[in-house]
Chains A and B, each alone.
Chain A
Amino acid sequence: DAKTTQPTSMDCAEGRAANLPCNHSTISGNEYVYWYRQIHSQGPQYIIHGLKNNETNEMASLIITEDRKSSTLILPHATLRDTAVYYCIVRVQGGKLIFGQGTELSVKP
């Protein structure tokens, strides 16, 4: 599975959009981009995934560049409860999820 690169940490003001970047320059054509988050002392939680097209659900939006070498997870109106570590993972269908270090997002009042 392709490796991903994420910033170690980010801050965001409450109520503002949180934009979390991820680089996956070696992604293969059959690999999906997945995002999970982990709130302190809890298990990881699935957020969203996509292959080529942008995706949106009730939690977030996922923007994937046309060349698929990078993506951005957008939390449109961040709240204090969104403070967590966010993991960007690339995975071939049927493959295992390999977590990296993730981005520690701090949402501040």
Chain B
Amino acid sequence: GAGVSQTPSNKVTEKGKYVELRCDPISGHTALYWYRQSLGQGPEFLIYFQGTGAADDSGLPNDRFFAVRPEGSVSTLKIQRTERGDSAVYLCASSPGRTTGELFFGEGSRLTVL
């Protein structure tokens, strides 16, 4: 499809497990963002990539969270030793470049940590 694709759409895991969430941005978009959204809250910024490098990771809550974008396209958000408080919808967005504020969001990956 032409939009941002995120997989899985739903993930249920147990406390302490490792989780990977994948984002496939719109073709040609160099900027990629990760946000997370808890129930009733607005999206919370996590990390931003320009190309392969993380240009701003100031939103990552702690060192259990890590994201990569090795070839400048697909990105993976990795969460180690999951906690119940990590339960949220993880949103990915892409844009043609850093200067534009018009981001195209995916449908999100809903993570539930039991």
List A residues 81-109 near B (Cβ within 8 Å).
Answer: 85, 87, 89, 91, 93-94, 96-102
Q: Quick check: which of B14-22, B64-72, B94-102 contacts chain A, the rest being far away?
A: B94-102
Bits for A18-55, please: 1 = Cβ < 8 Å to B, else 0. Answer: 00000000000000101000100111111001000000
Flag if A101 contacts B42 (CB, 8 Å): yes
| Alpha-carbon distance between A94 and B93 when the two chains are bound, in angstroms | 15
Which residues 29-65 in B have Cβ within 8 Å of A in the complex?
A: 33, 35, 41-45, 48, 56, 59
5 more A-B contacts (CB under 8 A) besides A34-B101, A96-B56? A38-B43, A43-B108, A96-B33, A96-B45, A98-B45
- Binary contact readout B86-113 vs A (1 if CB under 8 angstroms, 0 otherwise): 0000010100001101111111100000
Residues of A near B98 (CB, < 8 A) are 94
In the complex, what residues of A have CB within 8 A of residue B103's CB? Answer: 44, 46, 97
- Binding site of A, secondary structure by majority: helix, strand, loop or mixed? loop
- Say yes or no: A97 contacts B45, CB within 8 Å: yes
Residue pairs across A and B with Cβ atoms less than 8 A apart, 15 shown, are: A34-B101, A41-B107, A43-B91, A43-B93, A43-B106, A44-B43, A45-B105, A46-B103, A87-B42, A93-B99, A94-B98, A96-B33, A97-B45, A97-B103, A99-B42
- What separation, in Å, do the CA atoms of A71 and B44 have in the docked complex? 23
Residues of A within 8 A of B44 (CB): 99
Q: Smallest Cβ distance from A68 to chain B, in angstroms?
A: 16
Distance of A43 Cα from B103 Cα, bound (Å): 10
CA distance in complex: A103, B103 (Å): 20
Minimum CB–CB distance from A37 to chain B (whole Å) comes to 11
Cβ A99 vs Cβ B101 within 8 A: no
Contacts of B105 in A (CB 8 A): 43-45
Q: How far is the CB of B105 from chain A (nearest CB, A)?
A: 3
A91 to B33, CA, bound (A): 15
Quote the shortest CB–CB distance from A45 to chain B (angstroms).
7
